Structure 1
Amino acid sequence: MTRSTALKFLLSALTIVIPSIAFSQANYKIGFIVRAIGDTSGGLIDLKEWEKTPQTIHFKKDETSKPEKLGLEELQAFGISGNGFFEKHTVNITLGAMRMAGLSEEKDTTSETRTIFLEVIEKGKNVSLYSYTDKIKTRFYIQKPGIDTGPEELQYYPYLENRKVRGAEIFANKLHLLALANGVNSSKLIGRLQSIQYTKKDILNVVREINGPQENTRRKEKTSASRFFAGAFLSTSPLIYKGDDPLAKDGTTHTSAFLPGISLGYDSFVNKHVQKVVLRLAGAVSLQRASTNETSYYINTFDYRTTSHDLEYLHISFNPQIIYNVYNQAQFKTFLAAGFTLSRNVYLENEYRGAYGSKKTDEDLGMRKAFLSYSAAAGVQVKKKIECYIKYSPSLELVSSTRYSTSIRQISVGMNYLFK
């Protein structure tokens, strides 16, 4: 296996392994539990990248305690500071699909009753909003104060009619009747209900309008699901020859400077509360300069002659990555990253000088300008704002012929500022 093939295999493996690890490592945060007998205890709860509403948790009283696995039998409720509050309820659950692939021209009204944990989205004076997500879909529930029958599902039975999804009128009408019962019927509310989608954002906006201004309403700590960043880096890219060319001989010298570049990008968290796995889109522009020289002694002329290739170019790249925070605390993180890179070179200087005075320029050399490659990086994040890293990109083949090949590989050291 060649070095290039091995690196590609490693990077491909990282893109699979990194998300998998994210779901298995412990990430304890300050929280509390309410046991089935009514006792409330503070402690630490293992916060995961939950795609479904959690029905079991791992809890420990302090850092040194052995964790307990607790679920519906042991708990009435639990909460994680700034990261969600969950209550146990016995509710009706609709089972019909919501994705286009599972829809038909008839409403699927099948349902069943379960005792589950619901996530509390909003506690209000007129209505409270909950949600529950399983492998089928996300459902939303409402409850009026003083009602002991438990939260009621906002039923949504989507179906296809002339290739369009219908069915939103059921839960929209339910919310409208609830608003009227609480004396709310503004034009703003009517507008929201006419275009409402079965999403957390749309339903929460309506619920908050029904509840009106509430100084004491419990609000979850605002945590952004994304961020932007900007940074600067230094990078170097040695120019390497292989095959039948004087610059591929033993003793060839390679010179490349560490030159500046700038980067801009956007991060999206798989789970904004945990922030263990990050999907990154990054763009960068850097100046690169490299020189390769070989000096040989020619016995027929009794002198030394030098072959050289001087290269200077702008390197423009787009680099989607998966970032995994190996150590993940609010004020300090260490991370690994893997991704692929689409890039383009704009050649500013490109000159090959042969030993006998021949000269080739950009057009003669026919170097590639566009590339697809891989990247790997490691670094640290400090104080939620500063990120320092080192990144490696494997060989980019500039010229490939039956006789020889020319390639570069890039090593970068940089710093990013993270905008929250």
Structure 2
Amino acid sequence: MKHLYKITACILLCLPLYCFAQSNYKPGYIVTNNGDTVRGAINLREWENSPHNVDFKTATGVKNYKAKDIRGFGALNLAYQQYAGPVSTDETNISRLSTGRDTSYKLDTAFLQVLQKGPSITLYAYVDDIKIRYFIADNRNNLPFELIYRIYHIPDRGIDTHLENVFVSQLYGLAQKYNPNSDELKRLIEQTGYNAPDLKKISEMINKMAYDTKDYGTNSSVRFFAGAGINITRLKPSGAFPFYNPATLTSVNPTLSGGANIYINPNVGQFVLRGEILFTRDSYNTVADVYFNQPEKPKSQYRLTQYIAVFYPQLVFNAYNTNDFKFYLDAGLALNFSKNKGDELYNGYTQVTEKHYLNVNSYWINYPLKVGIVLNRKIDISVAYIISTSITNNISSGSKTSGDYSLNLSSILAGLHYNF
């Protein structure tokens, strides 16, 4: 069992990082500069910023297209359109605002992501390391332009700021053109913030769409799961333990768990936020020599059983990511809440039972590292190594013993989950 712990720890800690370059091709298309649509597969990425190029695969091979080479591309629910023109570079982060009005810009050629599209206008997003910007286009000319929002410190006024909501008048002009009789639309424009939900609602109304049910691939997705497994727990004494030559013990117990996976970008599925609740138990029952090798005094018996509920938030990275098979790495934080039964020593010499002998904690934190595979998006098989942590608090006045020692818990969790 000791070797199993070492092997598992090495696998989890030393997995190669080359998997971060794993491709993620999804059925899609490109639109050439001549207006032709070519079907194939798009290599979707977890783009933090607006992409400037994209890999496109057909039967003849893979080709990388820059934004200047094609009008746009799409895959699954995502759609991107070519843009070449000015992009504002003034800061809107409140901690980095300029003093005075900043009208600086850069010229860029990139792909804008479609957020909402109707018969009259299309709303887009452009993101870089500075900020997120929203663009809009009149579908009659299909020329996107930036919706302008500025905020800056007023010179000689300390931290006082001034807002320039130029985008309000820009939206109002389109509303007058395509939906001039809607008083509700005018009211919404006057009250809108510079954010995707507000702007998408206004775009829908300018397009005279009561509610756009189309999924543009911008929403997160949640899937629930449930499962079971085994918990191989190792409890190892260390330091000046109150037993002579204390034993390291391993116990094997079942687990039950359930939770939810939140896919940050469900079309890509590379990164997943996972919340899990797990139930298990462990035990430490041993013969104890509390008189430290005095043969004339009988041995004692120590007993401990823990019933544990674990709240387990995790970040999952699908290193190999296809619809039929995924291989993932997982790191998280385990918050353990334990109902302790026992923590008592029956002294074979005095024939007295002493409770709270080691003062075992009812709460502790440890740090699991996990690897797993997902088959056909449904079956999740995983193994996790939980790094050793102390579960005793012998400094407390409630302890029957004191000293520099601890009872350390580490474990291997193997689980099988079903994704609904």
- TM-score, length-scaled by structure 2: 0.81
Q: What's 2:263 paired with?
A: 269
Query: What do residues 85-128 of structure 1 show as CA deviations (whole Å, max 9, x unaligned)?
Result: 22223332111112112213533222244333222223321211
- For 1:310-321, what aligned pairs fall within 5 Å after superposition? 310-321=303-314
Structure 2: distance between partners of 1:359 and 1:395:
32
Structure 2: distance between partners of 1:356 and 1:404:
24
Deviates more, 1:201-210 or 1:389-398: 389-398
2:22 aligned residue (6, 20, 25): 25
Query: What number of residue pairs does the alignment pair up?
Result: 404
Look up the SS of the partner of 1:198 in the other structure.
coil
How many Å apart are 1:337 and its aligned residue? Answer: 0.8
How many Å apart are 1:341 and its aligned residue? Answer: 2.4
Q: What's 1:119 paired with?
A: 113
Q: What's 1:85 paired with?
A: 79
Structure 2: distance between partners of 1:300 and 1:144:
93
1:231 aligns with 2:226: yes
1:51 aligned residue (48, 51, 62): 48
- For 1:16-165, what aligned pairs fall within 5 Å after superposition? 22=20, 24-62=21-59, 65-82=60-77, 84-147=78-141, 150-160=143-153
Letter in 1 for 2:194: Y
Q: What's 2:200 paired with?
A: 204
How many Å apart are 1:185 and its aligned residue? Answer: 4.9
Q: Tell me if the contact between 1:378 and 1:390 (Cα under 8 Å) persists in the aligned partners.
A: yes
1:181 aligns with 2:174: no
Change (3 A) 1:32 1:230: closer
Q: Tell me if the contact between 2:227 and 2:418 (Cα under 8 Å) persists in the aligned partners.
A: no
* Structure 1 runs not aligned, ≥5 long: none
Letter in 2 for 1:124: G
Q: What's 1:410 paired with?
A: 411
1:351 aligns with 2:344: yes
1:240 aligns with 2:236: yes
Change (3 A) 1:81 1:229: closer
Q: Tell me if the contact between 1:168 and 1:197 (Cα under 8 Å) persists in the aligned partners.
A: no
Letter in 2 for 1:50: W
How many Å apart are 1:48 and its aligned residue? Answer: 1.0
Q: Tell me if the contact between 1:247 and 1:293 (Cα under 8 Å) persists in the aligned partners.
A: no
1:167 aligns with 2:163: yes
Q: Tell me if the contact between 1:259 and 1:288 (Cα under 8 Å) persists in the aligned partners.
A: no
Letter in 2 for 1:108: D
Deviates more, 1:218-227 or 1:393-402: 218-227
Q: Tell me if the contact between 1:11 and 1:374 (Cα under 8 Å) persists in the aligned partners.
A: no
Deviates more, 1:225-234 or 1:240-249: 240-249
Q: Tell me if the contact between 2:343 and 2:356 (Cα under 8 Å) persists in the aligned partners.
A: no
Look up the SS of the partner of 1:146 in the other structure.
coil
How many Å apart are 1:154 and its aligned residue? Answer: 0.8
Query: What do residues 174-195 of structure 1 show as CA deviations (whole Å, max 9, x unaligned)?
Result: 2123212223454543443344
Structure 2: distance between partners of 1:253 and 1:118:
59
Q: Percent identity?
A: 25
How many Å apart are 1:46 and its aligned residue? Answer: 1.4
Query: What do residues 138-187 of structure 1 show as CA deviations (whole Å, max 9, x unaligned)?
Result: 22111112226x21211111234785765363212321232122234545
Deviates more, 1:350-359 or 1:197-206: 350-359
Letter in 1 for 2:391: L
Letter in 2 for 1:43: G
Letter in 2 for 1:53: S
Q: Tell me if the contact between 1:254 and 1:293 (Cα under 8 Å) persists in the aligned partners.
A: no
Structure 2: distance between partners of 1:156 and 1:322:
34
Q: What's 2:384 paired with?
A: 391
Q: Tell me if the contact between 2:333 and 2:366 (Cα under 8 Å) persists in the aligned partners.
A: yes
Deviates more, 1:42-51 or 1:206-215: 206-215
Q: Tell me if the contact between 1:257 and 1:290 (Cα under 8 Å) persists in the aligned partners.
A: no
Q: Tell me if the contact between 2:39 and 2:58 (Cα under 8 Å) persists in the aligned partners.
A: yes
Q: Tell me if the contact between 1:241 and 1:248 (Cα under 8 Å) persists in the aligned partners.
A: no
1:380 aligns with 2:373: yes
How many Å apart are 1:350 and its aligned residue? Answer: 1.9
Q: What's 1:340 paired with?
A: 333
Q: Tell me if the contact between 2:153 and 2:161 (Cα under 8 Å) persists in the aligned partners.
A: yes
1:327 aligned residue (320, 328, 342): 320
Look up the SS of the partner of 2:22 in the other structure.
coil
Look up the SS of the partner of 1:274 in the other structure.
coil
Q: Tell me if the contact between 1:232 and 1:416 (Cα under 8 Å) persists in the aligned partners.
A: yes
Deviates more, 1:121-130 or 1:221-230: 221-230
